[in-house]
Chain A
Amino acid sequence: MNPLVIAAVWLGLGLVAATVLRRRSARLVAVVPLAGAVLTLFAARSPAPAVPLGGLAAITGLDRAGQGALVAAGVSLALLIALHPSIDVSMARAVGVVGAAATVAMSSTDSLVTALALTAAVATLVLRWIALAPGRATLAAGRIAGSGTAALVAASPFLPLSGFTTGARPVVVGALFALGVAALLAVYPFGGWAAGILGSLRPLDVAPWLVVLAPVVLIIAERVPNGILGDGIPVFEHVLLVIGLGSAVWGGVWAVRGPASMRYGRIFMADIALCIAAVGGTRSSPAVTGALIIVLTHLTVAPILLRPLDAGLVWPRRVATALLSGVPPSPTFWGRFLLLEALAAGNVGSTIAAVIAMTAIFVATVMACSMKGTATAAPAWPARVPEAVAWALVAAGIAIGIAPQALSVFVFGN
């Protein structure tokens, strides 16, 4: 199926849902990402351009990893919306635009189209965030994430670098890519905006970035250099390695020290920083596999953990948090083990920083698991559906821990 059709369905359903749905039927917003995910199953990469763009590299369709990431993100976002206690229907607009933009960004091989699609997604999210909570944190999201997409857009006229693999041009392109990726993934020192929105917005409003956009940017970052950056490769790799590891340690420390309501968000930021440090910084096969396992784990547990703390599901939340601890047989054990293996191949400093970050994340998950929750009396069966779904997600998380490689290949391909 043509990726533009899939993007159009995301966008159209999002706009229609935001207009038609009312408070009573707000949970139907979940149909938007679910429909996008189902349609993405039928997408395929074809040798012929799906959407010709003149002399530019065409939109060729989704490859297996991109397809898997978008399907998993769509299903995760649908479950997240379905399980959330209260839903604002206007978020359907942002969900639709972000899903459409992510589909276009993943299916394009042209850096300009990818960058503009990410710009559209970020702009939509930022407008929504500023409208919901005008303040320094949401404005910072526009400033920093907007500058990140501007850096990606600016790199496009300098590509491809064939014939220019030495000199200032590849270095500038590498630096622009590194800055763009770091800003969009909220990696230190550009991560303040994500911490700010985690503190000032409801978890559901942050979900389109956390569940859809961040995994997509991570996979795009893995594809970016692909041997084309020449002299820019060391800049891209070293910058992402250093700031990724620094951000992972910082995120881990704040996951321990910060407020409980932001703990999952901080753990996610630390994990994503570890992933980009290993994937962007070392570019080895274990790093990519480890990052995909960690992304898959977060997509599985996000519908449970990205909820207000007082919204019930106490025990599923505890077990889901334990799946992020890194203790076997949790899936994050395998993911972080592979990341550590990739980082250890580089130098001992990277290994030490990664171990510190992983230890901090472990402590944060233990603290989250040991939090007291108010267990409510068992409600009638229809009201227990969210709990049943949450336990099913926990079971899926445990399955990923038991067979990480097989399930990672099942979702993302080889």
Chain B
Amino acid sequence: MGVSAPLLSAAGVIGAVVAMMVDGRRAVAIAVVCLAAGMTPTAATFGGGPGVAVLGASAIVAILFAWVGWLGGRRLPWVAGLDPTVPATAPGDRLFGPRSVRAFGAAVAILIASWVSFNVPVGEVAVVEGLLFPTAYAWTCGVIRLIVAKTVEDLAVGVAMVSMSTGTAWLLRGGTDSLPGAVIACVAAPVAALVSGWLAGRSSRRVLPRVEAEA
């Protein structure tokens, strides 16, 4: 049965766009789940059951790690630290906000991913050409999210996007090393979720009682 390239691309693009736009304390986990869902058709086509398992396990472990990190951050004694959702720099008065910039970046990424998809073959034994679009698009979106990052959460989401897309690219290349490569590449996404959850948990418990009392 032939592979529907537009279907694979559409699923990947939807997942990447959601990951590109998501904000807040659970952003990394949501981004990983959306990317895993979007990349699953590609993974199923080229990696079969094990490929789907790698992406699915990454999503589940990312949710689990984010929760464990958040819980650990809340339980341990408070120390002055970093809130991953607070911008590291004071936002200036601009016509376009961070999401608008990301949306523009997501649009530009289509051009880059299209060129990569149709000009750069991936694979060692059997060459796959023209089906790299979803992974190339998710990777480009991840790098753009890194470059326009305002918060630590943005950086963590960018790392998770790069990790998941590279893992899927390893599944596409085939050969004996594709599955171990995909597993190792996808490890960074749950770790990013853990760190982000830890920082979010640690910063969420400090101000609430006092601020509410003062309010």
Contact = CB atoms under 8 A, between A and B. Distances in A.
A143 B149 contact: yes
B116 A172 contact: yes
Contact of B185 (A112, A143, A169): A112
A151 B140 CA distance: 10
A151 B143 CA distance: 8
B176 A116 contact: no
A274 interface: no
Contact of B178 (A55, A113, A162): A55
Contacts of B121: 164, 167, 169
A385 interface: no
Contacts of B188: 116, 119
Given A53-B180, A55-B176, A157 B89 contact: no
Interface in B168-204: 169-170, 172-173, 175-181, 184-185, 187-188, 195
Interface in A41-59: 53-56
B114 to A, nearest CB: 13
A116 B187 contact: yes
B5 interface: no
B15 interface: no
Interface in A104-138: 112-113, 116, 119, 123, 126-127, 130-131, 134-136, 138
B131 interface: no
B180 to A, nearest CB: 3
Nearest to B199: A127
Given A119-B159, A146-B159, A147-B147, A156 B166 contact: yes
B181 A156 contact: yes
A139 interface: yes
Contacts of B116: 172
B184 A53 contact: yes
Contacts of B17: none
B147 A143 contact: yes
B146 A146 contact: yes
Contacts of B158: 146, 150
Interface in B108-159: 116, 119-122, 124, 139, 142-143, 146-150, 152, 155, 158-159
Nearest to A113: B184
Given A119-B159, A142-B149, A158 B166 contact: no
Point out which of B150, B166, B179 has the most chain A C-beta atoms below 10 A from its C-beta.
Answer: B166
A143 B151 CA distance: 10
A54 B178 CA distance: 9
Nearest to A164: B121
A139 B154 CA distance: 11
B122 A158 contact: yes
A81 B149 CA distance: 32
Contact of A127 (B86, B152, B177, B179): B152
B101 interface: no
Given A146-B158, A153-B162, A134 B146 contact: no
Q: How large is the interface on B (under 10, 10 to 19, 20 to 34, 35 or more residues)?
A: 35 or more
Contacts, number: 115
Nearest to B162: A150
A150 B142 contact: yes
B3 interface: no
B81 interface: yes
A366 interface: no
A120 to B, nearest CB: 8
B180 A123 contact: no
Contacts of A312: none
A345 interface: no
Contacts of B172: 157
B10 interface: no
Contacts of B185: 112, 116, 153, 156
A150 B146 contact: yes
Contact of A130 (B82, B139, B195): B82
A147 B146 contact: yes
Given A119-B159, A131-B81, A146-B155, A158 B120 contact: yes
A168 interface: yes
Nearest to A132: B82
B151 to A, nearest CB: 8
B122 A168 contact: no
B119 A157 contact: no
Interface of B: 81-82, 86, 88-89, 116, 119-122, 124, 139, 142-143, 146-150, 152, 155, 158-159, 162-163, 166, 169-170, 172-173, 175-181, 184-185, 187-188, 195
27 contacts: A54-B179, A55-B176, A56-B177, A56-B184, A112-B170, A112-B185, A116-B187, A126-B155, A127-B195, A131-B81, A134-B86, A134-B88, A139-B149, A150-B143, A150-B158, A150-B159, A153-B162, A153-B166, A154-B169, A156-B185, A157-B172, A160-B124, A167-B121, A168-B119, A169-B121, A169-B122, A172-B116
Given A135-B88, A142-B155, 12 more contacts: A53-B180, A54-B177, A55-B176, A116-B188, A126-B155, A142-B149, A143-B148, A143-B155, A153-B166, A156-B166, A157-B169, A172-B116
A-B pairs with lowest CB-CB distance, top 7: A54-B180, A55-B177, A55-B176, A157-B169, A139-B88, A168-B119, A150-B162
